[in-house]
C-alpha cells in the first residue's frame, strides 16, 4: 500500500491484492478521511477512457480503509465490510492519475457511511460515490 506515516501501520500491512493490480497508492487514512491515487493507464475501457469499474474499485478501497480505521478505534479486532456502493460517473479521464478523497458522513457503532469524490489531475470531479460499510469484530465472527 504505502510507507507513508499518514497511513496507520495496521492498515498499511493489509494484503495488496486488487489494490496493487489497479496501481492504487494510498496517501492518507484516518477514520474521518482517506486519500489515494490511481493511474488511468491500465484501467481503461475499450475506448481509452477510465473504466467506470476502476473508479468504483478506487472509491470502495478508500472508503473501506477509512471505515477500517473507524472500526479499529473502538475494537482492535474491528473490521469494515462494504455493503452498498453507489457511484455517478460525471466525466472521464484518458491519461494521468485520478485522486479519490473519502470523507465520513456517518461513523456509527455498526455502520459507517463515506462520500468519495474522484477528481482528475486538473481537479475536476469525474465521479461521486457513496459507500456504506458494516462495522464488525473478527473476534465475534470466529467460531
Cβ-based neighbours of 143, under 8 Å, separated by 6 or more: none
Which strands, in side-by-side order, build the sheet including 25-29?
25-29, 33-39, 97-107, 111-119, 125-137, 78-89
Catalytic residue among 25, 28, 60, 117: 60
> Please, which pLDDT band fits residue 139 given cuts at 50, 70 and 90?
confident
Give tens-digit pLDDT for 74-130: 899 999 999 999 999 999 999 999 999 999 999 999 999 999 999 999 999 999 999
* 60 flagged as catalytic: yes
Domains parsed from the chain with CATH numbers:
9-141 (3.10.129.10)
Give tens-digit pLDDT for 21-64: 999 999 999 999 999 999 999 999 999 999 999 999 999 999 99
> Please, which pLDDT band fits residue 143 given cuts at 50, 70 and 90?
very low
Amino acid at each position: 500500500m504505502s510507507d507513508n506515516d499518514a497511513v496507520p501501520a495496521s492498515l498499511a500491512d493489509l494484503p495488496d491484492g486488487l489494490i496493487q493490480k489497479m496501481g492504487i497508492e494510498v496517501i492518507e487514512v484516518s477514520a474521518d478521511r482517506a486519500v489515494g491515487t490511481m493511474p488511468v493507464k491500465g484501467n481503461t475501457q475499450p475506448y481509452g477512457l477510465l473504466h467506470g469499474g476502476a473508479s468504483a474499485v478506487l472509491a470502495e478501497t478508500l472508503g473501506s480503509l477509512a471505515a477500517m480505521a473507524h472500526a479499529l478505534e473502538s475494537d482492535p479486532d474491528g473490521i469494515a465490510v462494504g455493503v452498498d456502493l453507489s457511484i455517478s460517473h460525471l466525466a472521464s479521464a484518458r491519461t494521468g492519475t485520478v485522486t479519490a478523497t473519502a470523507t465520513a458522513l456517518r461513523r456509527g457503532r455498526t455502520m459507517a457511511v463515506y462520500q468519495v469524490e474522484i477528481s482528475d489531475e486538473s481537479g475536476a470531479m469525474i465521479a461521486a460515490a457513496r459507500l456504506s460499510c458494516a462495522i464488525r469484530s473478527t473476534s465475534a465472527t470466529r467460531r
